[in-house]
């Protein structure tokens, strides 16, 4: 079974034929909302809205540990995250979809690990490759099957939010090698790795990052939401194909 975590622009999954919803409890509190079960093209899928189904939970207050723990308890095959980002790299223009292969964490103060109990042995994870390579390949193959253009690779910079970045901050991120900026990539990716989940991300570029579009000084959130609404049609096409790789 495949899990999909929807971010900004995907509080619901229109292509999902819903069968039921389930309220979950975890040792780490409540997830962002009930898990929604159903089928896409006769393949079982579970969906979770990262920011809540009313999009009321800001990125720095998402209970990432509860979300991933709840999904892990279902013995899933893999987890696909859909996340909106701002594009730094020149080819990451609004409406572009990318499958990142690396991540840099700029967040702070979040509950970022399951291994924080001092009376147990210290546990480290290898985070050389933050995203599951098989999941990335399946997303790329699904995009090709769906005839949807995606960019293979890119460095995701996870910032704290909920505010957007200054132009100077974006310049620093670019010097660090960041290609796209989001607010939810961490600790979600690391927690998935701790739980042994095969995790990948579909990054949807909603806007140019601050200072990257010379014709405007400010980012229009209205325009960004319009871009997301349009681009999510292609994302759903990819999801409809990727489920074919995870047959029950």
Whether residue 184 is annotated as binding a ligand: the answer is yes
Mean pLDDT score, 84-113: 96
Whether residue 135 is annotated as binding a ligand: the answer is no
Each residue of 26-44: pLDDT tens digit? 999 999 999 999 988 888 8
What pLDDT, on the 0 to 100 scale, is given for residue 222?
Answer: 80
CB 38 within 8 A of CB 2: no
Give residue 215's pLDDT band: very low, low, confident or very high (50, 70, 90).
Answer: very low
Whether residue 70 is annotated as binding a ligand: the answer is no
This prediction's pTM: 0.92
Whether residue 75 is annotated as binding a ligand: the answer is no
Q: Does domain 2-245 have CATH number 3.40.50.720?
A: no
Whether residue 128 is annotated as binding a ligand: the answer is no
Whether residue 115 is annotated as binding a ligand: the answer is no
Whether residue 207 is annotated as binding a ligand: the answer is yes
Each residue of 126-145: pLDDT tens digit? 999 999 999 999 999 999 99
Whether residue 124 is annotated as binding a ligand: the answer is no
């Amino acid at each position: 079974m495949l899990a999909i975590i929807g971010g900004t622009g995907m509080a619901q999954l229109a292509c999902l034929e819903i069968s039921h919803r389930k309220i979950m409890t975890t040792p780490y509190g409540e997830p962002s909302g009930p898990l929604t079960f159903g089928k896409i093209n006769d393949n079982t899928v579970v969906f979770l809205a990262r920011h809540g189904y009313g999009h009321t939970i800001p990125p720095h207050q998402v209970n990432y540990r509860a979300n991933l723990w709840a999904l892990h308890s279902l013995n899933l095959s893999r987890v696909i995250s859909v996340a909106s980002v701002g594009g730094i790299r020149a080819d990451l223009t609004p409406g572009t979809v990318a499958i990142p292969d690396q991540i840099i964490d700029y967040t702070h103060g979040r509950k970022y690990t399951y291994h924080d109990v001092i009376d147990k042995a210290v546990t480290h994870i290898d985070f050389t490759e933050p995203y599951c390579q098989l999941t990335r390949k399946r997303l790329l193959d699904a995009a090709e099957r769906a005839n949807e253009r995606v960019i293979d690779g890119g460095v995701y910079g996870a910032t704290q939010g909920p505010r957007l970045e200054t132009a100077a901050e974006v310049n620093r991120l670019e010097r660090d090698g960041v290609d796209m900026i989001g607010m939810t990539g961490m600790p979600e990716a690391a927690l998935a790795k701790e739980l042994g989940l095969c995790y990948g991300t579909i990054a949807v570029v909603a806007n140019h990052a601050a200072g990257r579009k010379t014709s405007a000084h400010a980012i229009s959130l209205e325009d960004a939401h319009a871009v997301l609404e349009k681009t999510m049609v292609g994302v759903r096409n990819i999801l409809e194909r990727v489920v074919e790789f995870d047959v029950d």
